């Protein structure tokens, strides 16, 4: 790698960082300093990354054992504050979840789904690797 290509990458990164900080000041939660804006950008990136991983896990749980729709809803809830289309998808997923009159998913459904998932994954891992 030549020094000039490294230098141009650094310049592009600095331009990207400056643009991200400006966008955060315009759209964020009224950060007062550049350090707060950078921290909030990292928080947003973390939420989007984690939300994406949780949604993918939920999608995998649809054909596999586990509370797929509930996991997808959790991932979309993480994404909803930063990704506009995730809010609309979350509303559609919530309509498919078993809920009470107030629209809340009952704790026995959540706990039962998690217990069944943990047992099934544990048995599957044992069967595959340890029997």
For 31, what's the count of Cα atoms within 13 Å in the CB-facing half-sphere? 18
Please state, in angstroms and rounded to a whole number, the distance separating the CA atoms of residues 48 and 44.
Answer: 6
Write down the pLDDT at residue 18: 81
Write down the pLDDT at residue 9: 81
Stated pTM of the model: 0.59
Write down the pLDDT at residue 8: 83
CB-count exposure of residue 50 (10 Å: 0-12, 13-18, 19+): middle
Write down the pLDDT at residue 111: 77
For the chain, residues with pLDDT lower than 50 are: none
Write down the pLDDT at residue 105: 67
Write down the pLDDT at residue 6: 62
Write down the pLDDT at residue 74: 84
CB-count exposure of residue 11 (10 Å: 0-12, 13-18, 19+): exposed
Write down the pLDDT at residue 23: 74
Write down the pLDDT at residue 84: 81
């Amino acid at each position: 790698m030549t020094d000039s290509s490294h230098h141009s990458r650094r310049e592009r990164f600095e331009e990207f960082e400056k643009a991200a900080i400006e966008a955060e000041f315009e759209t964020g939660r009224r950060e007062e300093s550049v350090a707060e804006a950078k921290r909030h950008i990292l928080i947003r990136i973390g939420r989007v990354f984690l939300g994406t991983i949780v949604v993918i896990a939920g999608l995998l749980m649809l054909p596999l054992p586990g509370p797929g729709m509930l996991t997808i809803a959790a991932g979309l809830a993480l994404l909803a504050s930063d990704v506009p289309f995730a809010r609309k998808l979350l509303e559609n997923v919530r309509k498919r979840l078993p809920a009470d009159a107030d629209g809340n998913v009952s704790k026995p459904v959540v706990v039962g789904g998690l217990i069944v998932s943990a047992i099934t994954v544990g048995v599957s891992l044992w069967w595959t690797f340890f029997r």
